[in-house]
Each structure stands twice: as structure tokens, then as C-alpha cells.
Amino acid sequence: MNYCKQSAALLLVLMTACAARGQVFNNVPGWQFGVGAGVFVYQGDLSQEKLGSYKTLRPALQIFAGKLLSAGFSWRFNLALGSLKGDEAKYKEPAYRQQRAFNFNTPVTELSAMAEWNILGRNYRRTGLAPYLGIGVGYTFLRVERDWSRFNPEAFPDNVEISTGLNQDLQRNPPRGQAIIPLVAGVRYFISDRVGIGLETNYRRISTDYLDGFSKSVNPRTSDGYYSHTLNLILRFGKIDPLDCPVVKY
């Protein structure tokens, strides 16, 4: 009888452990890989919109790999590919933009390393929502092609600053690369142990006003920037609960 009671008690303990742990990984750091597609948004002097030029969106692709350090923290390496474009002639107001009509485009190849904070500590959750924030360092490779061929100086007879500033800009080569600080906010939803989807916004702080090739002729008081919105597919690898408990749905 005592044996039966002990067996029943052990079974109850195991069932309780399974119920408690059936929704999480064993606390062993695992790896996380992902691929995402979305858009790059240029933010600078050639855009009338404070949030950036949504009139000249360009496709973006990112690939990342990282390690889960704990339930709340992880790191990752990120590769982003795509392009940026700005064209102030896209804006009818104010009218001078169509007369100045500066524009640019550049391919983007970006490498970065980031630390992530899983706000709710859900790195090891089997399923569910997991919002996160991140910050990192990186470098972006550029090949800026600026275009001022549609500039109409006759529309600015009393503004010599534009022509003078343009001459100064043309004496300076746009950057071929730039250090960046990525600032990330996103949310992931894991539909199984291994597979999840996510939405992410990645804003890049940079320290140049020549991302678009123009500065003195437009607004030299502020720096340019860019960011991306991506939809990601995430694959997660790690050791599952060694008790091999069934998934318990609440």
C-alpha cells in the first residue's frame, strides 16, 4: 500500500512538473535564426514627412542569427540588404520642392550586432507573444548617387544660398560607408517550439547629413537617417524539456 501511495505521489509530482514546464524550454540557452522582408524608409532633407519618405519606399531583406542567453536577454548578428531613395519632387507642397527637385538613391549593405531584451522574459516560452527591444552597433556600406539635373535656379532668384550650397555640396563626396547605432522594437509570436513570426522596426542613428548627397543646399542643421519595417520568420533551436512532457494548453 505504501508503495502504491509513493508511486501515486511521484506521478502527481511529475504531472505537476509537466504542467508547469510544458510551455517552456529547459533553461539551456539555444540559438535563434531568422529571415525577414520589408521596406527601407529614408529620413532626411528631401522628405516633407517627419517620419520619413513613404513615397519612395524601397525593399529590404534581413538575415539574422543569435543566441538566447536567458529568458530575458539575447544577442544577434544582423545582415540587411536593400536600397534607399529620396525625391523631393514627389511633394506638391511646398511648391519649391518640385522646382528644386533634388533626388538620390543608394544600395545598402549593412552589418550589425545587437543585444535584445525580451520585455516579458519569454525567450524560452514554447508559444505566445514576446515583445522585445534592442540596441547595437554596426556599419552600413553605401554608394550614393545624387541627382540635381531637374533643379530650376530661375525659380529661386532671391535665394542664392541654394546655388551656393549646391556648389559646396558637389565639392564633397557622399560617404561610402557609415557607422550606425540600430535601435530595435518588435514583437514575435511563436506558433510552435521551433517556428515563429514577427514584426520589427529597426531605426538607424547615423552622424552624417550626406546620406542623400545634399546638406548645405537643403538643411545643414539636421542629420539624415533611415529605418526599416520587416516581417520575419524565426526558427529557434535548443534543448527541449528533458522530461519530454506533453504541451499543456491553458
Q: Residue 4 has which C-alpha cell? A: 502504491
pLDDT exceeds 70 at position 22: no
One-letter amino acid at 248 equals V
Cα four-point dihedral sign 154, 160, 164, 165: negative
- Res. 72 pLDDT band, cuts 50 70 90: very high
Q: What is the pLDDT of residue 8?
A: 47
- Res. 239 pLDDT band, cuts 50 70 90: low
CA 138 to the chain's CA centroid:
12
pLDDT tens profile 41-50: 999 999 999 8
**Rounded CA gap, 62 and 48, in Å?**
27
The answer to whether 182 and 206 are in contact (CB under 8 A) is no
Nearest Cα residue to 211 out of 150, 141, 159, 156: 141
What is the set of domains in the chain, with CATH numbers?
32-224+232-237 (2.40.160)
Q: Tell me the DSSP string of 23-89.
A: TB--SS--EEEEEEEEEEEEESTT-SSTT--GGG-EEEEEEEEEEE-SSSEEEEEEEEEEEEEEEGG
Instruction: Please state the pTM of the whole predicted model.
Output: 0.83
pLDDT tens profile 119-148: 999 988 888 999 999 999 999 999 999 999
